[in-house]
Amino acid sequence: MSDKILIQIKSDIENNNVVLFMKGSSQIPQCGFSATVCSILNNLGIEYKDFNVLLDNDLREGIKLYSDWPTIPQLYIKGEFIGGCDIVKEMYASGELVELLKKHELIA
Amino acid sequence: MPIEAKELELLIKKAFPDSDVILKDLVGDGDHYEVTIRSVMFNDKSKIEQHRLVNKALSGYLGGTLHALSIKTLSLDN
């Protein structure tokens, strides 16, 4: 794997407010964990950029390297790695996720 | 390739000797687990840091042998 993919990932994360690296697309998730994160983001009504790692093996391996996190999905907000499905679920339940999105003025 | 529940629990206990571990085999196929770990080692750490410790303990399994693991971490100070 070349550094090119890591540079591409960095730029994608920096150029989009909310980014989800997932299996499948936001329209058709292909993994239960990815589907859960999509449904949380959809419930919150926020826009996000999704990247399907199943279409690009370099991206699939690159994103794990980038965040030093072995699993997918991975959610990024304003350039910051938030976590995978379990953490996003917990943060949604506790209200932390809404607070974070409000702080960044991504939801009213 | 699945992993035995006992082996998984052993890996966790090795990394978090003080921990209480609740492991559920969700489907019964040795491939979809839910684990709750309560340990003093999670004290004063963010969720990301707590999960990173678990990821490290299971490195080489997560995202490979172990297809689906849902992780919940609890510190002793919450």
Peptide bond into A70 cis (omega under 30): no
| Residue B70 contacts A, CB cutoff 8 Å | yes
Contacts of B68 in chain A (CB under 8 A): 32-33
pLDDT, tens digit, 9 for 90 and up, residues A56-86: 999 999 999 999 999 999 999 999 999 999 9
Beta strand spans in chain A (E): 18-22, 49-52, 74-77, 80-83
Stretch A46-52: mean pLDDT: 97
Element counts in chain B: helices (H) and strands (E):
2, 3
Which chain B residues are Cβ-neighbours of A72 within 8 angstroms?
A: 63
Kindly state whether B24 is in contact with chain A, defined as any CB-CB distance less than 8 angstroms.
no
This complex has an ipTM of 0.87
pLDDT digits (tens, 9 = 90+) for B22-58: 999 888 777 789 999 999 999 999 999 999 999 999 9
Query: pTM, whole model, 2 decimals?
Result: 0.92
